[in-house]
Amino acid sequence: MPGPDFLCGLDAAVSVVGGKWKALILWALSRRPHRFAELRRELVGISEKVLIQQLRELERDGVVHREVHEQVPPKVVYSLTSDGVALERALAPLGDWGEERMDRIAELRQVQGG
């Protein structure tokens, strides 16, 4: 039975990865752990404010782990938790679907003006 805040499992999952950047953050972290600046460079177009917000939300939802190494200057490394790995694996078929259709989607959007 779904939890009190969600209609179904899909609702819960989409609430975790919703928006433009969260799935891309998961994708980047699935390849290897990253420091904040590395993520920002890799995710071209994301602002520092949005990246901070998205990472905090992913950490709150238990899919991203933030590890602080006590040194000067402080070193913070982000990685996927086991739930994050499972979520990224669940998203992989969606990514495959998009990969196969990227050109077609772009064509249709260009023809239809958006």
pLDDT, tens digit, for every residue of 26-59?
Answer: 999 999 999 999 999 999 999 999 999 999 999 9
- Per residue, the 3-state secondary structure of 35-86, as one string, reads EHHHHHHHCCCCCHHHHHHHHHHHHHCCCEEEEEECCCCCEEEEEECHHHHH
Element (H, E) at 25: helix 22-31
Cα–Cα dist 97/104, whole Å: 11
- φ, ψ for residue 65, nearest 5 deg: -110, 135
pLDDT, tens digit, for every residue of 64-109?
Answer: 999 999 888 889 999 999 999 999 999 999 999 999 999 999 999 9
In this prediction the pTM is 0.86
Question: Which residue matches tokens 């602002």?
Answer: 47
Compute the residue count for the chain.
114
**Tokens representing 62?**
């238990």
**What residues contact 17, with CB distance under 8 A and at least 6 apart?**
23, 26, 87, 91
Domains of the chain by start residue, with CATH: 9-111 (1.10.10.10)
